[in-house]
Amino acid sequence: MNAEGRSRLDQMPEWIALGKHREQLGEVQLRDLFAQDPERAGRYTLQVGDLHLDYSKHLVTDETLLLLRELAAAAGVAGLRDAMFRGEKINTTERRAVLHTALRAPGSAVITTDGENVVPAVHAVLTKMGTFAERVRSGDWRGHTGERIKTVVNIGIGGSDLGPAMAYEALRAYTQRDMQFRFVSNVDGADLHEALRDLDPAETLFIIASKTFTTIETITNATSARDWLLTGLGAGDEAVAKHFVALSTNAEKVSEFGIDTTNMFEFWDWVGGRYSYDSAIGLSLMIAIGQERFREMLAGFHLVDEHFRCAPPEENAPLLLGLLGIWYGNFWDAQSHAVLPYSHYLAKFTAYLQQLDMESNGKSVDRDGRPVHWQTGPVVWGTPGTNGQHAYYQLLHQGTKMIPADLIGFARPVDDLRPGLVAQHDLLMANLFAQGQALAFGKTPDEVRAEGVAEELVPHKTFKGNRPTTTILAEELSPSVLGQLIALYEHKVFVQGAVWHIDSFDQWGVELGKVLAKRVEPALTDGAEVPGLDASTANLVTKYRELRGR
């Protein structure tokens, strides 16, 4: 038993039962599972809001699903979920509440942490964002020289970049097309250079997005952007107010940087960076799509929040997806999980999920600080499916690794496609359905032979199949559907962290690199002695200086 009265996960009877069940299933075949149960495809689907989920192509039986739900119950997933929604400090290592769900709660909700109902403040910021967004969109907000803002540049990194950048791409069809939006994250000067090279400072608005306002990459880029602006305008600091706004929890640092805190949009320490794009961090997105659409997206998030909070375990989609991941990661030795959207607009979706999932569940000690004895978060990867088909799908189909995958698609293309391009949509979706089918059912040697293939090529043209996928289908990629999708994955990640008994809301693992970079930088710049530098790194630093002619 540990401090929370929980036995070690891998010693729980429910875990052991799953292990035995896995042994019994042996080389279970999807072909057989479908043949044995003609109702399987219908029974193994869920509808959550606009999302239709087909999980029939998984290596599971009714018994597997029951045992997985029993594991979740024994691991206390529902209790931790309720504690999260109640505003308890479930991020124990940082002693923080985890309340991203409050960011999309209706104004009438009461969600309390530290004795304060946070909902009024959330809605006050949303209103402030809405007013500002409409002023920029309408041209009422002008730059220092009186020009209309034509380009918005969001400078942030990690959760202060990936969310708005992903959602902006996803909802391109809903954006104000006479404006441009750019996202700069990398401290590599090339990122800012390419973003700014064709812009007119007089028409450019910078949004500096940083929860802490201390992140070196963001502050460095923001400082360079300010220099670019003031040089370009030939103006002094008085020009900053019309061209820089900040999204942060840290008013002091914002003001130190020189941004007037009246131009700051606030959020709170109970919003994790990777859970923040529906907070003030989404300002660039709100300017792009307008406040109405942004609120539709929040409603989509909220719909899935309520589903996760209230739906019974058998119908609870985030619970199911989380448990399926545990099934493969812990009982089938799967190391990674592919997310393959059949939508060009979701090009950045998987990159966003990488932070959500891997920064949350890439942990090897449990909530009590003890080493875990089971696999935790998977490597999450993927790109839009059709492009992936001509790159890495070979390995998915015929490689030696088991890689469960999510296939995501939409019935309708966006409204403003030309008719000729609309016609391409069936082909796009035919690919999604074909891949799910091929991954699951493959092609037997006999089927290959029946096509007249020469015997020596039969092994090469055989597909074992049995590769599990979830298919997620919705009518269209609207703001609400995007919110639903993101909330689905957020809660899936939560479920897995809860079962693995890890803190999904801290990220101590990114700290060491940051500290070391600060220590090494003077060695690169001035050749300063850095105490404690290992021999390999010291050699690399010398080589670097040599190559730079220093």
Shortest CB 163 distance to ligand F6P, Å:
9
Q: Which of 20, 401, 464, 514 is catalytic?
A: 514
Q: Which residue has the tokens 């064709």?
A: 198
Binding mask 114-153 for ligand F6P (x = CB under 6 A): ----------------------------------------
Shortest CB 221 distance to ligand F6P, Å:
11
Is residue 158 at the binding interface for ligand F6P, with CB under 6 A as the rule? yes
Q: Give the span between the Cα atoms of 453 and 436, in whole angstroms.
A: 24
Select 250 or 471, whichever has its Cβ closest to ligand F6P. 250
Q: Which two tokens stand for residue 221?
A: 């880029």
Select 51 or 162, whichever has its Cβ closest to ligand F6P. 162
Select 156 or 404, whichever has its Cβ closest to ligand F6P. 156
Quick one: which segment of 55-63, 156-164, 190-198, 328-336 binds ligand F6P (CB under 6 A)? 156-164
Is residue 215 at the binding interface for ligand F6P, with CB under 6 A as the rule? yes
In the chain, the largest separation of any two C-alpha atoms, in whole Å, equals: 78
Among 112, 212, 255, 444, binds ligand F6P (CB under 6 A): 212
Quick one: which segment of 75-83, 155-163, 165-173, 475-483 binds ligand F6P (CB under 6 A)? 155-163
Strand, helix or coil for residue 253 = helix
Q: Give the span between the Cα atoms of 161 and 221, in whole angstroms.
A: 13
Among 151, 160, 383, 462, binds ligand F6P (CB under 6 A): 160
Quick one: which segment of 88-96, 210-218, 227-235, 462-470 binds ligand F6P (CB under 6 A)? 210-218
Binding mask 237-276 for ligand F6P (x = CB under 6 A): ------------------------------------xx--
Positive or negative torsion for Cα 392, 393, 396, 400: negative
Count the residues of the shown chain that bind ligand F6P, applying the rule CB under 6 A.
14
Is residue 218 at the binding interface for ligand F6P, with CB under 6 A as the rule? yes
| Structural contact between residues 407 and 432, judged by C-beta atoms closer than 8 angstroms | yes
Closest C-alpha to 172, from 298, 75, 34, 288: 288
Is residue 469 at the binding interface for ligand F6P, with CB under 6 A as the rule? no
Give backbone dihedrals phi and psi of 310, rounded to 5 degrees, phi first. -110, -25
Q: Which residue has the tokens 């202060």?
A: 160
Strands 204-209 and 244-248: parallel
Q: Which two tokens stand for residue 25?
A: 């299933």
Q: Give the span between the Cα atoms of 300 and 283, in whole angstroms.
A: 18
Select 343 or 504, whichever has its Cβ closest to ligand F6P. 504
Beta bridge partners of 365: 371
- Tell me, yes or no, if 425 is annotated catalytic: no
Binding mask 349-368 for ligand F6P (x = CB under 6 A): ----------x---------
| Structural contact between residues 273 and 160, judged by C-beta atoms closer than 8 angstroms | yes
Shortest CB 219 distance to ligand F6P, Å:
8
> Which are the contacts of 132, defined by CB distance < 8 A and separation ≥ 6?
141, 245, 265, 283, 287
For the chain, count helices (H), then strands (E).
25, 13
Give backbone dihedrals phi and psi of 31, rounded to 5 degrees, phi first. -55, -45
| Structural contact between residues 494 and 504, judged by C-beta atoms closer than 8 angstroms | yes
- Kind plus residue range of the DSSP H or E element containing 228: helix 216-233
Shortest CB 212 distance to ligand F6P, Å:
3
Select 61 or 220, whichever has its Cβ closest to ligand F6P. 220
Quick one: which segment of 72-80, 114-122, 204-212, 403-411 binds ligand F6P (CB under 6 A)? 204-212
Q: Give the span between the Cα atoms of 308 and 82, in whole angstroms.
A: 10
Strand, helix or coil for residue 470 = strand
Shortest CB 156 distance to ligand F6P, Å:
6
Quick one: which segment of 206-214, 282-290, 395-403, 419-427 binds ligand F6P (CB under 6 A)? 206-214
Positive or negative torsion for Cα 135, 138, 142, 143: positive
Among 81, 211, 337, 425, binds ligand F6P (CB under 6 A): 211
Select 187 or 199, whichever has its Cβ closest to ligand F6P. 187
Q: Which residue has the tokens 């060009």?
A: 344
Q: Which two tokens stand for residue 516?
A: 């070391």
- Tell me, yes or no, if 390 is annotated catalytic: yes
Quick one: which segment of 10-18, 154-162, 170-178, 334-342 binds ligand F6P (CB under 6 A)? 154-162
Q: Which of 337, 359, 363, 490 is catalytic?
A: 359
Q: Which of 390, 451, 460, 546 is catalytic?
A: 390
**Distance in angstroms between the alpha carbons of the first and the last residue of the chain:** 58
Q: Which two tokens stand for residue 324?
A: 């399926």
Select 145 or 220, whichever has its Cβ closest to ligand F6P. 220
Shortest CB 493 distance to ligand F6P, Å:
14
Is residue 322 at the binding interface for ligand F6P, with CB under 6 A as the rule? no
CB closest to ligand F6P, residue no: 273
Is residue 510 at the binding interface for ligand F6P, with CB under 6 A as the rule? yes
Is residue 223 at the binding interface for ligand F6P, with CB under 6 A as the rule? no
| Structural contact between residues 264 and 245, judged by C-beta atoms closer than 8 angstroms | yes
Among 49, 87, 159, 282, binds ligand F6P (CB under 6 A): 159
| Structural contact between residues 370 and 505, judged by C-beta atoms closer than 8 angstroms | no
- Tell me, yes or no, if 359 is annotated catalytic: yes
> Which are the contacts of 423, defined by CB distance < 8 A and separation ≥ 6?
none
Positions marked catalytic: 359, 390, 514
Per CB under 6 A, residues contacting ligand F6P are 157-160, 210-212, 215, 218, 273-274, 359, 507, 510
